[in-house]
C-alpha cells in the first residue's frame, strides 16, 4: 500500500531546523524524513481488530506542529510516539476486513475511527485509572511498549506510532471498540470533520459556563470555529468573541455563532486596548511593556496553543474565570501572574472521552454525530481543500500557509483511487 511515512533522524531534523527560514519546504522533504512510500499493509494485532480502507484523512494542527518542528527535541510528547510514524489520525474509512472475533456485519460499513490507543485498544488488563472512569484521552499507558495483548509500541493514537498505520495511507488497522458507524444522512465531507469537532466539543464540555456571560475564542482555525459551533450546539447563549488576525475567517466565525470578531493590531498596546474596550475593563500597565486587564472574559478558549496565546488568555480572563487550553503546543515563557492573582481555573482539553451530557454518558464521537444529525452542528463548509495522496506536499504547503490560500481544513482524499 502507499502511505506517507515520517521518520525524523537527528541530522535531518537539525539540518531542517537550520534551513527552515530560507527553505521552509525542507520540513516536508525527504531530508526531514517525510516521504510517500510503498509499505506492507499492517497486520491485525489480535483477533478483535479490523482493517480499514481510507476515504479521507484530515491534516491536523498537531501533525503540522510535528512536521513544522514546533516541538523541541526534549518535548514530553516524544515519549508518546514511535518512529517511523505512519501519519494521519483524523479519518473517514470503510471496514475492509475483520478479525475472527469481530462481527462480520462491519465489513463495508462507513466509519470514523476514534483513534486513541488506550488500555482497551492495547489489550491491557486491568485498565489504568483514567480509562476505568472513561477518560481514555488521558490514558496512563500511551508510552507502553509491547504491553498488552496487542503489543503496540508507544503512541497516543493511530497516526502517531509505527504499527497501526494512519489515515494518510491507503489502509490502517484499528480495534473494533474504536469503530463509530457514520449515519447514512451525513456526507463524507461532514463526517470527515468528526475528530476536530469532537476535540472542540470535549473542551466545551470540560468548562462550566453556567454563569459565563461572555467567552473568548482565541484563534479561529478549524479548532476555534468548531469550538464556537459546539458552544452554540450545546446551548450556550452568552456572548462569544472570536479573536483572530486573518479577516477571511470572520464570516465563518459569525455564521457558526460568534457575536463579534476582533482582528487585533500586532502591537501589544493596541491589542490590549481593543480587548479592554470589548470587555469593558481597563488595561493595567507594568514595567517594560508588560500588561494585564482589570477584568475580562469569563472563559477563554485558547485554540492556538502558542506561548503568546496562552499568555494572552491568562491576561484577558476575568478574576475567577476559566482558561481552556484547546490548541496543543509548547509553553515557552509564560507570565503566571494571572493564574494566582486572578485565581484562574486552567483546564487542559485533549482528545475525547466518555462525556457527561444531559444526564447520560456518551462517547464524544457519537455525541458529535448526534448533534450533526440533529442539525445543531454543521461543519462541512470548513473542509475547504482536498488533495490526492500523491499531491501531499501541496496539501501540506496549503495547510501550513492557510491565510495565503484562505484555507480552513485541508484533507487527503482517497475516494477517486481504485477500490475506494
**Cα 294 to chain centroid, rounded:** 32
What pLDDT was estimated at residue 330?
64
C-beta pairs of 281-288 under 8 Å, 24+ apart in sequence: 281/318
Query: For 169, which DSSP code?
Result: B
Predicted TM-score (pTM) of this structure:
0.95
Residues 6+ away with beta carbon under 8 Å from 33: 6, 7, 8, 9, 12, 13, 84
Asked if 89 and 144 count as a contact pair (C-beta separation under 8 A), the reply is no
What does the pLDDT look like over 368-410, one tens digit per residue? 999 999 999 999 999 999 999 999 999 999 999 999 999 999 9
Helix axis angle for 268-279 and 307-316, nearest 10°, is: 40
pLDDT lower than 50: segments of the chain:
none
What is the CB neighbour count within 10 angstroms for residue 204? 26
- The pLDDT score that the predictor gives to residue 76 is 79
DSSP 3-state of 136: helix
Domains of the chain: 2-193+379-413 (3.90.180.10), 206-348 (3.40.50.720)
φ, ψ (nearest 5 deg) of residue 383: -80, 95
Alpha carbons 93 and 57: distance in angstroms, whole number: 9
What is the model's pLDDT at position 332? Answer: 65
Amino acid at each position: 500500500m502507499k502511505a506517507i511515512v515520517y521518520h525524523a533522524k537527528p541530522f535531518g531534523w537539525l539540518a531542517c531546523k537550520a534551513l527552515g527560514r530560507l527553505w521552509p519546504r525542507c520540513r516536508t522533504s525527504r531530508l526531514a524524513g517525510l516521504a510517500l512510500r510503498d509499505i506492507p499493509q499492517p497486520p491485525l494485532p489480535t483477533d478483535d481488530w479490523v482493517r480499514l480502507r481510507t476515504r479521507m484523512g484530515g491534516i491536523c494542527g498537531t501533525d503540522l506542529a510535528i512536521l513544522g518542528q514546533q516541538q523541541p527535541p526534549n518535548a514530553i510528547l516524544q515519549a508518546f510516539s514511535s518512529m517511523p510514524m505512519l501519519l494521519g489520525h483524523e479519518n473517514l474509512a470503510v471496514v475492509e476486513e475483520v478479525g475472527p472475533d469481530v462481527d462480520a456485519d462491519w465489513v463495508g460499513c462507513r466509519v470514523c475511527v476514534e483513534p486513541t490507543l488506550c488500555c482497551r485498544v492495547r489489550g491491557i488488563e486491568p485498565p489504568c485509572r483514567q480509562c476505568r472512569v472513561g477518560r481514555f484521552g488521558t490514558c496512563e499507558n500511551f508510552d507502553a511498549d509491547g504491553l498488552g495483548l496487542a503489543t503496540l509500541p508507544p503512541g497516543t493514537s493511530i497516526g502517531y506510532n509505527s504499527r497501526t498505520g494512519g489515515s494518510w495511507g491507503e489502509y490502517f488497522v484499528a480495534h473494533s471498540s474504536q469503530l463509530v458507524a457514520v449515519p447514512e444522512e451525513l456526507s463524507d465531507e461532514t463526517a470527515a470533520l468528526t475528530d476536530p469537532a469532537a476535540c472542540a466539543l470535549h473542551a466545551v464540555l470540560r468548562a462550566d459556563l453556567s454563569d459565563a456571560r461572555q467567552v473568548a475564542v482565541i484563534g479561529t482555525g478549524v479548532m476555534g470555529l468548531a469550538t464556537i459551533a459546539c458552544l452554540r450546539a450545546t446551548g450556550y447563549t452568552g456572548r462569544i468573541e472570536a479573536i483572530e488576525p486573518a479577516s477571511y475567517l470572520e464570516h465563518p466565525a459569525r455564521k457558526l455563532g460568534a457575536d463579534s470578531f476582533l482582528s487585533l493590531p500586532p502591537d501589544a498596546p493596541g491589542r490590549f486596548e481593543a480587548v479592554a474596550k470589548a470587555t469593558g475593563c481597563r488595561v493595567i500597565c507594568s514595567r517594560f511593556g508588560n500588561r494585564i486587564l482589570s477584568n475580562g472574559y469569563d472563559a477563554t478558549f485558547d485554540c492556538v496553543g502558542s506561548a503568546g496565546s496562552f499568555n494572552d488568555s491568562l491576561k484577558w480572563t476575568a478574576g475567577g474565570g476559566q482558561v481552556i487550553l484547546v490548541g496543543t503546543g509548547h509553553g515557552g515563557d509564560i507570565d503566571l501572574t494571572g493564574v494566582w492573582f486572578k485565581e484562574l481555573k486552567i483546564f487542559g482539553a485533549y482528545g475525547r472521552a466518555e462525556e457527561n451530557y444531559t444526564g447520560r454518558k456518551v462517547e464524544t464521537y457519537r455525541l458529535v454525530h448526534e448533534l450533526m444529525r440533529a442539525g445543531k452542528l454543521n461543519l462541512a463548509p470548513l473542509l475547504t481543500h482536498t488533495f490526492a495522496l500523491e499531491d501531499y506536499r501541496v496539501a501540506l504547503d496549503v495547510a501550513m500557509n492557510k491565510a495565503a490560500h484562505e484555507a480552513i481544513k485541508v484533507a487527503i482524499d482517497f475516494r477517486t483511487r481504485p477500490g475506494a
